[in-house]
Amino acid sequence: MAQPVTIAALPAPLHLDIARTALVIIDMQRDFLLPGGFGETLGNDVSRLQQVVAPLAELLAAARAAGMLVIHTREGHLPDLSDCPPAKLNRGTPAKRIGDPGAYGRILIRGEYGHDIIDELAPVGGEVVIDKPGKGAFYATDLDTVLAEHGVTQLLVTGVTTEVCVHTTTREANDRGYECVVVSDCVGSYFPEFQRVGLEMIAAQGGIFGWTAPSGVLVAALTDQPAASPTSPVPGSAVS
Ligand code: C5J
44-81: per-residue pLDDT in tens? 999 999 999 999 999 999 999 999 999 999 999 999 99
pLDDT tens, residue by residue, 150-171: 999 999 999 999 999 999 999 9
Active site residue 165: yes
Contacts for 85 with CB less than 8 Å, ≥ 6 apart = none
Q: Average pLDDT of 84-102?
A: 89
Stated pTM of the model: 0.93
Q: Which of 116, 135, 165, 180 is catalytic?
A: 165
- Cα(170) to ligand 1 centroid in Å equals 13
pLDDT greater at residue 160 or residue 235: 160
Tell whether ligand 1 has an atom less than 6 A from the beta carbon of residue 165: yes
Residue 12 confidence (pLDDT) = 98
d(CA 11, CA 90) in angstroms, rounded, equals: 39
d(CA 173, CA 188) in angstroms, rounded, equals: 19
Tell whether ligand 1 has an atom less than 6 A from the beta carbon of residue 27: yes
What ranges in the chain are assigned the alpha helix state H? Answer: 30-33, 38-41, 47-50, 53-65, 86-89, 143-149, 167-175, 192-207, 215-223
Tell whether ligand 1 has an atom less than 6 A from the beta carbon of residue 98: no
Active site residue 132: yes
Instruction: Select from 27, 74, 131 the residue to mutate for testing ligand 1; criterion: most ligand atoms less than 8 Å from CB.
Output: 27
pLDDT tens, residue by residue, 209-227: 999 999 999 999 999 865 5
Q: Average pLDDT of 112-140?
A: 97
- Cα(158) to ligand 1 centroid in Å equals 13
Contacts for 153 with CB less than 8 Å, ≥ 6 apart = 17, 20, 21, 177, 178, 179
pLDDT at 230 over 70: no
pLDDT at 229 over 70: no
Categorize the per-residue pLDDT at 228 as very low, low, confident or very high, splitting at 50, 70 and 90: low
Residue 51 confidence (pLDDT) = 98
pLDDT at 240 over 50: no
Tell whether ligand 1 has an atom less than 6 A from the beta carbon of residue 137: no
Residue 236 confidence (pLDDT) = 37
Mean pLDDT computed over every residue of the chain: 93
Active site residue 185: no
Tell whether ligand 1 has an atom less than 6 A from the beta carbon of residue 164: yes
